[in-house]
Amino acid sequence: MPRTSADIYDEWLIARHLSGDEGALRDLVGRWHRRLYCHARRLLGEADAADDAAQEAWVAIVRGLGGLNDSARFGPWAYAIVTHKCRDTIRRRARLRGVTPAAGSVVEPPAPSPGERAESIDRLRGAIRGLPPMYRAILALHYLEGMPVAEIAASLGIPPGTVKSRLFHAREHLRVAFTTDESTPHPTLERSHP
């Protein structure tokens, strides 16, 4: 995969940080914290838990920067660390509740009116909230962050085929949410993923 200017900038910031420039780490955190926090929020569903997971991830990221073999791959590596911290949080919650967590966790329509648009957006948000956290995370990484399947797989520690399958099922769930009436039961997705 070709390196982007953002990859090169991340490499430069990491090299500066490893050379002792404290400002470089501030810049790296400034570039990535919001995205990593949002990823944790999608996985955990709570702002406070996501903030804690993101902070724990940053501690691990800073400690591990010297061992990162390809600093141009910082993004997928950092997302993977956040994913692991979120899984740890989910496991801790499950232990506190005395529960064992599950393993592995186009035809153009006419333009809608502003009221219809708002209703559609609310419906989409509701349908996305109804997805398991891992499906929400995969959708966001793919569509909001623009990550290809291979990078999502590396970030989440799952095979690329699993990413493709979950993308398909998440999109299908959303499609059904918009093509059935409200009284029709929607297909359920397994809830065993963090």
> What 3 state SS string does the chain have?
CCCCHHHHHHHHHHHHHHCCCHHHHHHHHHHHHHHHHHHHHHHHCCHHHHHHHHHHHHHHHHHHHHHCCCHHHHHHHHHHHHHHHHHHHHHHHHHHHCCCCCCCCCCCCCCCCHHHHHHHHHHHHHHHHCCCHHHHHHHHHHHHCCCCHHHHHHHHCCCHHHHHHHHHHHHHHHHHHHHCCCCCCCCCCCCCCC
pLDDT for 146? 82
Are both 69 and 139 inside the same structural domain?
Answer: no
- Identify the residue with better confidence: 77 or 119: 77
- Compute the mean pLDDT over every residue in the chain, rounded to the nearest whole number: 81
Q: pLDDT tens digit string along 29-82?
A: 999 999 999 999 888 888 899 999 999 999 999 999 989 888 878 988 999 999
pLDDT for 193? 47
- The answer to whether residue 191 is domain-embedded is no
- The answer to whether residue 79 is domain-embedded is yes
Are both 86 and 123 inside the same structural domain?
Answer: no
- The answer to whether residue 103 is domain-embedded is no
Q: pLDDT tens digit string along 43-56?
A: 888 889 999 999 99
- The answer to whether residue 68 is domain-embedded is yes
Q: What is the mean pLDDT of residues 147-163?
A: 90
| Of 13-17, 94-98, 101-105, the least confident | 101-105
Percent of the chain with pLDDT over 90: 34
Are both 89 and 136 inside the same structural domain?
Answer: no
Q: How many domains does the chain have?
A: 2
In the predicted structure, residue 157 carries a pLDDT above the cut 70? yes
Q: What is the pTM of this model?
A: 0.63
Residue at a domain's end among 55, 71, 97: 97
Residue at a domain's end among 72, 97, 122: 97
In the predicted structure, residue 86 carries a pLDDT above the cut 70? yes
- Which structural domain, as residue segments, surrounds residue 67? 5-97
Residues 6+ apart with CB under 8 A from 3: 72
pLDDT for 112? 53
Are both 92 and 118 inside the same structural domain?
Answer: no
- The answer to whether residue 102 is domain-embedded is no
Residue at a domain's end among 69, 97, 125: 97
Are both 17 and 72 inside the same structural domain?
Answer: yes
Q: What is the mean pLDDT of residues 119-136?
A: 79
Are both 23 and 89 inside the same structural domain?
Answer: yes
Are both 93 and 118 inside the same structural domain?
Answer: no
- Identify the residue with better confidence: 100 or 123: 123
Are both 118 and 63 inside the same structural domain?
Answer: no
What CATH number has the domain bearing residue 48?
1.10.1740.10
pLDDT for 107? 30
